[in-house]
Amino acid sequence: MTDVNAARDKLIVALDLPDTRAAEKMVARLGDAVSFYKIGMELVYGGGLGLAAELAKSGKKVFLDLKLHDIPNTVARAVEQVANMGATFLTVHAYPQTMRAARGALGSSPLKILAVTVMTSCDDADLEEAGFRFGVKDLVARRATQAKDAGVHGLILSAEESRAMRALVGPDMLLVTPGIRPAGGDLADQKRVMTPARAIVAGADHLVVGRPVTQAPDPVAAAVAIIAEIAAAK
Ligand code: C5P
C-alpha cells in the first residue's frame, strides 16, 4: 500500500493535445487530482515550453519528453536551459556520449535525466537496417547498463521490460513506463500494455498515461481511479 499523495506523484499524465489551449483546459479540469504532467515534442513545438515552465511554477511536476541527442556540447547547453525551467524529468536518447553530457550539465539542479533505451517502434530488423549489430533485447540491456554507468537517473521502458531491467540496474534507478491501460480499457494503438497495478508490482516507479485519462468522459474520475489502483498495488 502506498500513501495516496505518493501514489498521485507516480501517475504522469501525458498532455498529448494539439495545442496549449487544449492542454491548459485539461490541466484546469484535472486540478488537484493530478500532480505530474508529461509534455512531449508535439506540444513543445506548439508553444508547450511556456506551459511547462508555468506548470512548474504553479507547483506541478513536469516531465519534458524531448528525447535529446546531439553533440555533447549542445546537449549540455540544452540541459542547462531545461534545468532552469524547473522541470523534474527530461529524456535523452541512450547514447553514452549524450547521457554523459546531460548528466554532467546538471550541476546542483534537481532535474533528473531519463534515458530512452530503444524506441518501442523498432524491432530487430529496424535496428539492423539502421546499422546496429545488436537486436532489441541485447541493445536495451546494453544501454540500460551504460545509462547506469553514466549516472543517469532512470529509464523509459515498457512495463513488460520492467522486471528484467530492475534486476539488471538495481533498486536505485527510476523506471518510467508508458503503455498503461486500466483493466478493460481501450488499447487504441498500444499493443503491449499492463494495468497500473501490475506495472507497479513489476517495478515501475512512475506510469505515463495519456488517453485513458485525457480522452475519458470524466478525466478526474479516470485519474483518481488509476491513483487508487497504484496506492493499493502490492
Ligand atoms: O495515450 P497513451 O497512454 O497511449 O500515451 C502514452 C504516452 O507515452 C504517449 O505520450 C506516448 O508518446 C508515450 N510513449 C509510449 N510508448 C513508448 C514511449 C513513449 O506510448 N515506448
From 37, 66, 119, 208, give the residue whose CB has the most ligand 1 atoms within 8 Å, as the site to mutate. Answer: 208
pLDDT (0 to 100) of residue 178: 94
pLDDT (0 to 100) of residue 83: 94
pLDDT tens by residue, 124-174:
999 999 999 999 999 999 999 999 999 999 999 988 888 999 999 999 999
pLDDT tens by residue, 35-93:
999 999 999 998 999 999 999 999 999 999 999 999 999 999 999 999 999 999 999 99
Beta-sheet pairing, 89-93 with 112-116: parallel
On the question of pLDDT at 105 being above 90, the answer is yes
pLDDT (0 to 100) of residue 121: 84
pLDDT (0 to 100) of residue 188: 76
pLDDT tens by residue, 175-228:
999 989 988 777 777 777 899 999 999 999 999 999 999 999 999 999 999 999
On whether the CB atoms of residues 75 and 92 are closer than 8 A, the answer is yes
pLDDT (0 to 100) of residue 1: 59
Write down the mean pLDDT value for the chain: 94
Whether the CB of 101 sits within 6 Å of ligand 1:
no
Q: Homologous superfamily of 4-232 in CATH?
A: Aldolase class I (3.20.20.70)
On whether the CB atoms of residues 215 and 30 are closer than 8 A, the answer is no
- Give me the active site residues, please: 67
On whether the CB atoms of residues 95 and 70 are closer than 8 A, the answer is no
Amino acid at 222: A
Q: Which ligand 1 atom sits nearest the alpha carbon of residue 116?
A: 18
